[in-house]
Amino acid sequence: MEALDYHAGERSKAEFDVEEMKIVWAGSRHAYEISDRIARLVASDPVFRKDNRTMLSRKDLFKDTLKKAAHAWKRIIELRLSEEEASRMRFFVDQPAFTDLHWGMFIPAIKGQGTEEQQQKWLPVAYKMQIIGCYAQTELGHGSNVQGLETTATFDPQTDEFVIHSPTLTSSKWWPGGLGKASTHAVVYARLITDGQDHGVHGFIVQLRSLDDHLPLPGITVGDIGMKFGSGAYNSMDNGVLRFDHVRIPRDQMLMRVSQVTREGKYMHSDVPRQLVYGTMVYVRQQIVLDASCALSRAVCIATRYSAVRRQFGSQNGGPETQVINYKTQQSRLFPLLASAYAFRFVGEWLNWLYTDVTQRLQANDFSTLSEAHACTAGLKSLTTTATADAIEECRKLCGGHGYLSSSGLPELFAVYVPACTYEGDNIVLLLQVARFLMKTVAQLGSEKKPVGTTAYMGRAEYLMQCHCDVQRAEDWLKPSVIVEAFEARAARMSVACAKSLSKFSNPEEGFAELSADLVEAAVAHCQLIVVSKFIEKLQRDIPGKGVKRQMEILCNVYALSILHKHLGDFVSTGCITPKQGALANEQLRLLYTQVRPNAIALVDAFNYTDHYLSSVLGRYDGNVYAKLYEEAWKDPLNDTVVPDGYHEYIRPILKQQLRTARL
Amino acid sequence: MEALDYHAGERSKAEFDVEEMKIVWAGSRHAYEISDRIARLVASDPVFRKDNRTMLSRKDLFKDTLKKAAHAWKRIIELRLSEEEASRMRFFVDQPAFTDLHWGMFIPAIKGQGTEEQQQKWLPVAYKMQIIGCYAQTELGHGSNVQGLETTATFDPQTDEFVIHSPTLTSSKWWPGGLGKASTHAVVYARLITDGQDHGVHGFIVQLRSLDDHLPLPGITVGDIGMKFGSGAYNSMDNGVLRFDHVRIPRDQMLMRVSQVTREGKYMHSDVPRQLVYGTMVYVRQQIVLDASCALSRAVCIATRYSAVRRQFGSQNGGPETQVINYKTQQSRLFPLLASAYAFRFVGEWLNWLYTDVTQRLQANDFSTLSEAHACTAGLKSLTTTATADAIEECRKLCGGHGYLSSSGLPELFAVYVPACTYEGDNIVLLLQVARFLMKTVAQLGSEKKPVGTTAYMGRAEYLMQCHCDVQRAEDWLKPSVIVEAFEARAARMSVACAKSLSKFSNPEEGFAELSADLVEAAVAHCQLIVVSKFIEKLQRDIPGKGVKRQMEILCNVYALSILHKHLGDFVSTGCITPKQGALANEQLRLLYTQVRPNAIALVDAFNYTDHYLSSVLGRYDGNVYAKLYEEAWKDPLNDTVVPDGYHEYIRPILKQQLRTARL
Ligand SMILES: Cc1cc2nc3c(=O)[nH]c(=O)nc-3n(C[C@H](O)[C@H](O)[C@H](O)COP(=O)(O)OP(=O)(O)OC[C@H]3O[C@@H](n4cnc5c(N)ncnc54)[C@H](O)[C@@H]3O)c2cc1C
Ligand SMILES: Cc1cc2nc3c(=O)[nH]c(=O)nc-3n(C[C@H](O)[C@H](O)[C@H](O)COP(=O)(O)OP(=O)(O)OC[C@H]3O[C@@H](n4cnc5c(N)ncnc54)[C@H](O)[C@@H]3O)c2cc1C
């Protein structure tokens, strides 16, 4: 029997080689093959089933998560998976778990901040998971302001130990993932105090639970902080609360790569540059940008496929109705998100390169690009996570009523994704950092220090302040140089305008605070420029496969012109383009949508997601939506009985007018 | 002992009479008193407790909902509450239930579409809840396109009955609230067929379940459609699926106010105007606009109070850190939402008046304002629900990490609110209707037919197409006439521009489809103008209370200028204002934020919400956030045991390297 495929017609319309696009999306043939193999492995394993996840109680969900983590680890060992394969496996299991923090934060923190000796002691046991670690920074009272943390680590020279203590309620550690129930250890951030002197916040490795019976060690109070957004979603994670009552740890458990405390209690710095920590941040944030492209592409895949199945209105002479994907409003909402998924993927790839570049420079003691790289990753983390969170919800709305069902997969995807806007730096706080860097860059224009990397365009600020866009017909907007110049001019003019306003304040800090809302907008303009330019740069390379490059060009233009349309006020009011040119851009955008349309399904097929990973009835590869929606419904526990539990106590007395006498 | 109040300082700073503002918000002293009394009644009743709601399983949540509905009904009877009071009680119980559809859709449908006779037969039993009804329109395959519904109601002249049938899978009724488990009856929409002829979709009263044992009647398959977005949230509602296998109902159960089928099977229209149905739509949608202001104000209340408690950065000389509400970025995100809450409240109030006006005109056979009223309510439903959904999520983000906890109340509020963007008309489909009406209005300019009501400004299109904004200093933006003219000019120019583009198409329908994304933007501009003008009109009335009117003026300006800033592209590219004037508006906006700041807490106190209704640890009246967050955490079931369920099977074997032999 032929496999059913409601999308077959759509698939046959594609004007490019989907298999080649899969490789572009994955980054390389090697990456594609690993992803493809591991995704299937996970999808075919019944332990990794997740279609019933949103119905589980908190306790059952957590137990299910422990089971999946253990099973994944077992498979990783049995199959002798490489680090890369293991990490893909955790990715496709697709259920937040303590292991994310163990591998993603605990180990990198020790690697980045521990001495050689500490690494040799702790990393092997961590790699084997003989200990499970988490990253305990945030407290009830402090998240963004890390320097304001209140937990103390006081050196006791008598015993050569640190005393870790939670002096106030607000100093309770709060939020660390994996802390609540699973971790045996944590990297704890606390104020280092020696001899009555406060040296600010430092990291310490602290054992939390006994390795014998998992009970908290003396002086430690630890638990889960309770339910979070959504059903299923991030509730599989045991984000935790932790209090210390004078807990003692040996001196050598302070992470001492950059600063040390000697046996005598003397506080010192090594010659390792402090900026090293920025390297880790660049690493973590480039990962977040790649994750954004995954979450976004997943939502877009669901909404695109469903939009091709869903028909509403427009039947002619009793024929089928119009697929909603053919409506221009649907396209103008959906296709920019499809383009963003690709754009974020490519900028994430570039960030990955940037991380390598920065690391190499650091090793050569070259700090010249560090602050630019730091600002750029902070900005891109903010830009891509905000856009992705909004986009997932837009995709849900694009699916009409059915998008609101858990079985559409979109509610859970949204709920599990949104904290990315907050963790690893609140998105607004990050944009303010970018803005600060931009103001510094503008202030230094004309000086010795030339702007580098993603701010290099600022070096041409004089030109960009007065250049004129020469678009005269809609198709002029297809020229990469035209697009880049418009985005550069807009970003430069907004930054320079802010700098001018700032200069009117006698106190620059006051000015910065007063103008911060405008500064954030300038930072966004700068980050959007980066995404656009990196997409265009990607297209300058050789890209094999019939029609693949052509599709990418279309998507790149959709991304750029849709951003331009959305922020038209910026472009026009800074005089970068005229209102007429704005209208031409919009006209061109409409034409581009028409070019995306026949390729839409193939463009989401290129993400190569299994139905298991998507876990969406609406996003099924075969498009068999209605039969499966109907089937799913009956699985709800409420359908266990025809007459609902509670009928006799609460419905019947109403109907029979016997409420007065009922005991409720 | 004095009650603790962390906000006391904030409250003492208010520059207006909060008690008087409460009355303005409620609409009248009478409305205020009822709301206040019923809210306290609900809050003090342990049955209505909802702080543990997000932890309940689907079955327990549903049973809890039945209990609350029965208890509320019992109290309504015992206390002999008026209709108004009863409806406030359901509002403050704040848990979606079958009763919402019974009172909000089933009864109004019979009132609006039933004959006198039918009303006399069905309404008394419905008012006493001797039957429970729902509204069964949407099907698996059709929501927006009501005319495409597939369920059939075929008249059988032999037995004088209709045969209700679900001929296809996609004809299954799908989504009706209260249908899944609770309702005994439904108003079912089906294609009326007499003598082989299809007369399109009509409403029928159909009994679904036995009044004796609640079992579905023969031929009826009914159940719940499964979990929806979030935990708690809308999962308390039994949105249902329903299939008919040739179910027979007497002829007099077709709702026959407008059309009838005679004993002989003849299809006829009465002289009751068909437009009457629009009256009901105006009613339902004005209610949705008021609901938007409630949901939005609730989110804003939580975010505002927490922003005054939360401190992060900016400590000077060891003093307390800055309250995050003092950051301009926080203000520029939060205060426009606060202003929107008030704006939506007032436009909702005005819609309520409009509904009365339309009803009176209908009774006098005056249809002149009907299509304008219909377009205007459709547009405002779309505008306010979209803005509110986005705003709730923004409020959540404004609370940083803690906003992601269920105990913040914001995740559930979002999840329960968002379907308002989809039900009662998908928001994009509604804007397209508004756009269609606007294009008609433009086409008729210069003809006999003068634009009325909210489109009256179009009558001055010629002037508005060429007028110049004369703002020269920031404070010029405080003049209501300046604001209104800018908004009118923008809306008129966008509509006229669309009409011009449309005229270039030989086939106007094709043109409409092609330009629909632009048309939607023109519709939004028109709707924003309505909100702004109604706010300004409200201020022209007498408003008692020290400083109350002043605060409202500030909020009105914040609303208008923040919209202008957000849509600067529209204003500048249509030439309504210059870039310089746009910058002045932004400058004025910053000054306005400074004026809102000292009054922010009092402005949200004026909503008069109980802590029970808010159900948010972050939004507590007393601001005692941290102690309560900490307390709440320990209630999570995961904290029942120190060592989690699953440790022995899944964690220990990892730590002890015994996975290979473990059976998972
Ligand atoms: C799901 C999840 C998982 C997490 N996992 C971990 C973990 O594993 N380990 C860990 O240590 N932490 C973790 N966290 C905590 C997370 O890192 C913090 O929540 C995050 O850093 C934001 O800080 P905050 O909550 O203090 O926000 P706040 O800073 O309190 O933000 C509140 C508001 O104030 C604004 N604001 C703050 N400062 C400024 C300023 N200077 N200028 C303008 N506006 C400002 C913000 O923009 C925001 O609108 C997690 C959080 C979540 C939600
Ligand atoms: C919580 C909830 C409660 C509900 N309660 C009830 C109830 O009690 N009774 C009842 O009968 N129904 C109920 N509904 C159903 C609801 O009325 C429909 O979901 C709603 O009308 C939207 O229709 P749809 O789902 O068919 O969306 P669709 O029309 O399928 O929308 C899908 C996409 O197509 C787009 N689209 C559709 N048509 C066009 C067009 N012509 N032009 C451009 N774009 C278009 C939409 O904008 C959307 O992006 C409920 C729904 C929900 C979510």
Residue A339 confidence (pLDDT) above 70: yes
Please indicate whether, in this complex, the C-beta atoms of B225 and A627 are within 8 angstroms of each other.
no
Residue B661 confidence (pLDDT) above 90: no
Q: Return d(Cα A502, Cα A515) in angstroms, integer.
A: 7
- Single-letter residue type at B155: F
A370 belongs to a structural domain: yes
Q: Return d(Cα A628, Cα A616) in angstroms, integer.
A: 10
Give the nearest ligand 2 atom to A404 CA.
53
Domain count, chain B: 2
Q: Which domain holds residue A261?
A: 133-272
Contact A166, A245 (CB under 8 A): yes
**Do B255 and B288 reside in the same domain of the chain?**
no
How far, in Å, from the CA of A197 to the mean position of ligand 1?
28
Q: Return d(Cα A534, Cα A541) in angstroms, integer.
A: 11
CATH code (residue B220): 2.40.110.10
> ∠ CA(A608), CA(A611), CA(A615), 5° rounding?
125
How far, in Å, from the CA of A397 to the mean position of ligand 2?
9
A16 belongs to a structural domain: no
Using a 6 Å cutoff on CB, does residue B310 contact ligand 1?
A: yes
Q: Return d(Cα A274, Cα A254) in angstroms, integer.
A: 16
Residues of B in contact with A143 (CB under 8 A): 312, 400-401
* φ, ψ for residue B208, nearest 5 deg: -105, -40
Q: Which of A223, A629, A639 sits opposite B633 (nearest CB)?
A: A223
- Classify residue B242 by burial, with Cβ atoms within 10 Å: 0-12, 13-18, 19+: buried
Please indicate whether, in this complex, the C-beta atoms of A226 and B652 are within 8 angstroms of each other.
no
How far, in Å, from the CA of A322 to the mean position of ligand 2?
15
* Model pLDDT for residues B470-492, shown as the tens digit of each residue: 999 999 999 999 999 999 999 99
Q: Of residues B448 and A604, which shows the higher confidence score?
A: A604
Question: Dihedral through CA B340, CA B346, CA B347, CA B348, nearest 10?
Answer: 110
**Do A318 and A414 reside in the same domain of the chain?**
yes
**Do B358 and B287 reside in the same domain of the chain?**
yes
**Do A267 and A394 reside in the same domain of the chain?**
no
* Model pLDDT for residues B496-510, shown as the tens digit of each residue: 999 999 999 999 999
Residue B49 confidence (pLDDT) above 90: yes
Spatial neighbors of A500 by CB under 8 A, at least 6 apart, are: none
Residue B526 confidence (pLDDT) above 60: yes
Using a 6 Å cutoff on CB, does residue B34 contact ligand 1?
A: no
Question: Average pLDDT of chain B?
Answer: 96
Position A368 scores a pLDDT of 87
Spatial neighbors of B390 by CB under 8 A, at least 6 apart, are: none
Long-range contacts of A274-279 (CB under 8 A, 24+ apart): A275/A362, A275/A367, A275/A370, A276/A112, A276/A362, A277/A112, A277/A113, A278/A370, A278/A373, A278/A374, A279/A112, A279/A355, A279/A358, A279/A359, A279/A362
Please indicate whether, in this complex, the C-beta atoms of A226 and B633 are within 8 angstroms of each other.
yes
A17 belongs to a structural domain: no
Please indicate whether, in this complex, the C-beta atoms of A333 and B514 are within 8 angstroms of each other.
no
To the nearest whole Å, the CA of A363 is away from the closest chain B CA by: 33
Question: Dihedral through CA B81, CA B85, CA B91, CA B95, nearest 10?
Answer: 0
Position B663 scores a pLDDT of 67
B488 belongs to a structural domain: yes
Contact B231, B146 (CB under 8 A): no
**Do B243 and B381 reside in the same domain of the chain?**
no
A4 belongs to a structural domain: no
Strands (E) located in B282-378: none
Position B273 scores a pLDDT of 80
B212 belongs to a structural domain: yes
Please indicate whether, in this complex, the C-beta atoms of A223 and B639 are within 8 angstroms of each other.
yes
A513 belongs to a structural domain: yes
Q: Categorize the per-residue pLDDT at B318 as very low, low, confident or very high, splitting at 50, 70 and 90.
A: confident
Structure tokens at A165: 């203590």
Spatial neighbors of A201 by CB under 8 A, at least 6 apart, are: A146, A147, A149, A189, A190, A191, A192
How far, in Å, from the CA of A552 to the mean position of ligand 2?
33
- Inter-CA distances, B94 with A411, B77, B492, B605, Å: 21, 19, 41, 19
Question: Which chain A residue has the Cα nearest residue B511?
Answer: A328
- Inter-CA distances, A36 with A22, A305, A607, Å: 10, 20, 10
Q: Categorize the per-residue pLDDT at B2 as very low, low, confident or very high, splitting at 50, 70 and 90.
A: low
Which residue is closest in CA terms to ligand 2's atom 27? A400
Residue A565 confidence (pLDDT) above 70: yes
**Do B267 and B290 reside in the same domain of the chain?**
no
Residue A1 confidence (pLDDT) above 70: no
Question: Average pLDDT of chain A?
Answer: 96
Residue A154 confidence (pLDDT) above 60: yes
Q: How many other β-carbons are positioned within 10 Å of the β-carbon of residue A535?
A: 26
Q: Return d(Cα A618, Cα A402) in angstroms, integer.
A: 8
**Do B428 and B511 reside in the same domain of the chain?**
yes
Counting ligands in written order, the one closest to the CA of B333 is 1
To the nearest whole Å, the CA of A473 is away from the closest chain B CA by: 16
Position A271 scores a pLDDT of 85
Q: Return d(Cα A325, Cα A305) in angstroms, integer.
A: 9
Q: Categorize the per-residue pLDDT at A342 as very low, low, confident or very high, splitting at 50, 70 and 90.
A: very high
Give the nearest ligand 1 atom to A145 CA.
29
- Inter-CA distances, B583 with A123, A576, A579, B346, Å: 55, 16, 17, 28
* Model pLDDT for residues A102-135, shown as the tens digit of each residue: 999 999 999 999 999 999 999 999 999 999 999 9
Counting ligands in written order, the one closest to the CA of B433 is 2
The annotation places the binding site of B for FAD at 138, 177
**Do B288 and B423 reside in the same domain of the chain?**
yes
Residue A415 confidence (pLDDT) above 60: yes
How far, in Å, from the CA of B419 to the mean position of ligand 2?
9
Residues of B in contact with A427 (CB under 8 A): 397
Residues of B in contact with A54 (CB under 8 A): 227
SS3 category, B273:
coil
Query: What are the residue ranges of helices labelled H in B453-515?
Result: 461-466, 480-503, 508-514
Please indicate whether, in this complex, the C-beta atoms of A415 and B411 are within 8 angstroms of each other.
yes
Q: Categorize the per-residue pLDDT at B583 as very low, low, confident or very high, splitting at 50, 70 and 90.
A: very high
**Do B248 and B291 reside in the same domain of the chain?**
no
Give the nearest ligand 1 atom to A105 CA.
8
Q: Return d(Cα B636, Cα B83) in angstroms, integer.
A: 39
Question: Which chain B residue has the Cα nearest residue A400?
Answer: B422
Using a 6 Å cutoff on CB, does residue B144 contact ligand 2?
A: yes
Q: Which of B62, B175, B411 sits opposite A638 (nearest CB)?
A: B62
To the nearest whole Å, the CA of B365 is away from the closest chain A CA by: 32
Long-range contacts of A653-662 (CB under 8 A, 24+ apart): A653/B70, A654/B69, A654/B70, A654/B73, A654/B129, A654/B132, A655/B129, A655/B130, A655/B131, A655/B132, A655/B184, A655/B211, A657/B128, A657/B130, A659/B70, A659/B73, A659/B74, A659/B77, A660/B74, A660/B77, A660/B78, A662/B70, A662/B74
CATH code (residue B504): 1.20.140.10
pLDDT over 70 percentage in chain A: 99
Please indicate whether, in this complex, the C-beta atoms of A62 and B644 are within 8 angstroms of each other.
yes
Residues of A in contact with B62 (CB under 8 A): 638, 644-646
* Mean pLDDT calculated for residue range B616-621: 98
Pocket test for ligand 1, best of B312, B326, B398 (most atoms within 8 A of CB): B312
Q: Return d(Cα B225, Cα A639) in angstroms, integer.
A: 9
DSSP assignment of A531-566 equals: HHHHHHHHHTS---STTHHHHHHHHHHHHHHHHHHH
β-pairing verdict for B240-244 and B220-224: antiparallel
**Do B285 and B154 reside in the same domain of the chain?**
no
Name which of A432, A137, A382 is nearest B330 in CA terms.
A432
To the nearest whole Å, the CA of A139 is away from the closest chain B CA by: 10
A400: Cα separation from own chain's centroid: 25
B97 belongs to a structural domain: no
Please indicate whether, in this complex, the C-beta atoms of B223 and A650 are within 8 angstroms of each other.
no
Name which of B575, B569, B582, B494 is nearest A568 in CA terms.
B569
* Mean pLDDT calculated for residue range A217-230: 98
pLDDT over 90 percentage in chain A: 94
Position A2 scores a pLDDT of 61
* Mean pLDDT calculated for residue range A63-76: 98
Using a 6 Å cutoff on CB, does residue B465 contact ligand 2?
A: no
Q: Return d(Cα B157, Cα A519) in angstroms, integer.
A: 74
* Model pLDDT for residues B153-186, shown as the tens digit of each residue: 999 999 999 999 999 999 999 999 999 999 999 9
Using a 6 Å cutoff on CB, does residue A239 contact ligand 1?
A: yes
- Output the CA torsion sign for A137, A142, A146, A147: negative
* Mean pLDDT calculated for residue range B322-340: 98
**Do B141 and B220 reside in the same domain of the chain?**
yes
Please indicate whether, in this complex, the C-beta atoms of B654 and A70 are within 8 angstroms of each other.
yes
**Do A501 and A571 reside in the same domain of the chain?**
yes
Using a 6 Å cutoff on CB, does residue A234 contact ligand 1?
A: yes
Note the ipTM here.
0.98
* Model pLDDT for residues A258-301, shown as the tens digit of each residue: 999 999 999 999 888 877 777 778 889 999 999 999 999 999 99
* Mean pLDDT calculated for residue range B331-353: 98
> Which residues of B does the annotation mark as catalytic?
424
Using a 6 Å cutoff on CB, does residue B327 contact ligand 1?
A: yes
To the nearest whole Å, the CA of A627 is away from the closest chain B CA by: 7
Last residue of a domain, one of B272, B291, B322: B272
Pocket test for ligand 2, best of B134, B135, B142, B144 (most atoms within 8 A of CB): B144
Q: Return d(Cα A202, Cα B560) in angstroms, integer.
A: 47
Position A663 scores a pLDDT of 67
- CB contacts < 8 A (A, B): 403
- Inter-CA distances, B623 with A169, A509, B307, B398, B612, Å: 15, 30, 10, 16, 14
Question: Which chain A residue has the Cα nearest residue B498?
Answer: A583
* φ, ψ for residue A386, nearest 5 deg: -60, -50
Q: Return d(Cα B579, Cα B572) in angstroms, integer.
A: 6
Helix (H) or strand (E) holding A207: strand A197-207
β-pairing verdict for A197-207 and B133-136: unpaired
- Single-letter residue type at B332: S
β-pairing verdict for A185-194 and A197-207: antiparallel
Max mean pLDDT range (A2-6, A394-398, A659-663): A394-398
* φ, ψ for residue A139, nearest 5 deg: -120, 170
How far, in Å, from the CA of A394 to the mean position of ligand 1?
24
* Mean pLDDT calculated for residue range B386-412: 98
How far, in Å, from the CA of A423 to the mean position of ligand 1?
6
